[in-house]
Amino acid sequence: MGNNYQYQFDVGVIEMFKQGEKMENYYDLFVQLSLQQCLKNDYGDKEKVKAHNKASKKLRQLQAEMKTNDCTDVLFNLLDYSDDRVRVNAAYLCLQMNIHTDKVLRTLNNVVDSTTDPTLAFSAKMALHGM
């Protein structure tokens, strides 16, 4: 069932990008793409890594579009999402756009202090180092 959902989601996202449509529902799309990224125990699974790579590429495209539109409220809300992958991705984009820096700092410090995933802790530390 999980793979079928993954496939349906990929097809839908790919079609949206092919048609050149704007990703109007930035919040949901950002979350869905972020949640496809690997956690520490996923890197040994070739299919999960493949899905991670596809999602990361699509997420970069989505982020580029978000930079050209007013998505400050969306990003502000994404920084509070329950999953650390979403929060770290949102924090990186906020840093690139130089917005919500106080909240980004709190979010990244929270991820470093609370996550059980060393890959996410490392990503958050690197973002903090770059601030």
Q: In which band, very low, low, confident or very high, does the pLDDT at 15 lie, cut at 50, 70 and 90?
A: low
Distance CA 111, CA 5 (A): 28
pLDDT for 10 beyond 90: no
Of the ranges 20-24, 40-44, 69-73, which one carries the lowest mean pLDDT score? Answer: 20-24
Domain coverage including residue 69:
2-130
Count how many domains the chain has: 1
Q: Judge contact between 26 and 62, C-beta under 8 A.
A: yes
Q: In which band, very low, low, confident or very high, does the pLDDT at 131 lie, cut at 50, 70 and 90?
A: confident
Neighbour tally for 84: CB within 10 Å? 25
Q: Which of 42, 54, 63 is nearest to 118 (CA)?
A: 42
What integer pLDDT is reported at residue 130 of this predicted model? Answer: 85
Q: What is the mean pLDDT of residues 121-129?
A: 96
Scan for tokens 């299919």, then name that residue: 47
Distance CA 19, CA 108 (A): 35
Q: What is the mean pLDDT of residues 20-24?
A: 52
Sign of CA dihedral 76, 15, 13, 40: negative
Can you list the pairs that 16-21 forms with residues at least 24 positions away whose Cβ atoms lie under 8 Å?
A: 17/58, 17/61
Distance CA 68, CA 107 (A): 24
CA distance to 48, 68, 99, 104, per residue, from 121 (Å): 20, 29, 22, 14
What integer pLDDT is reported at residue 24 of this predicted model? Answer: 60
pLDDT for 2 beyond 90: no
Q: For 86-115, what is each residue's pLDDT tens digit?
A: 999 999 999 999 999 999 999 999 999 999
CATH of the domain at 124: 1.25.40
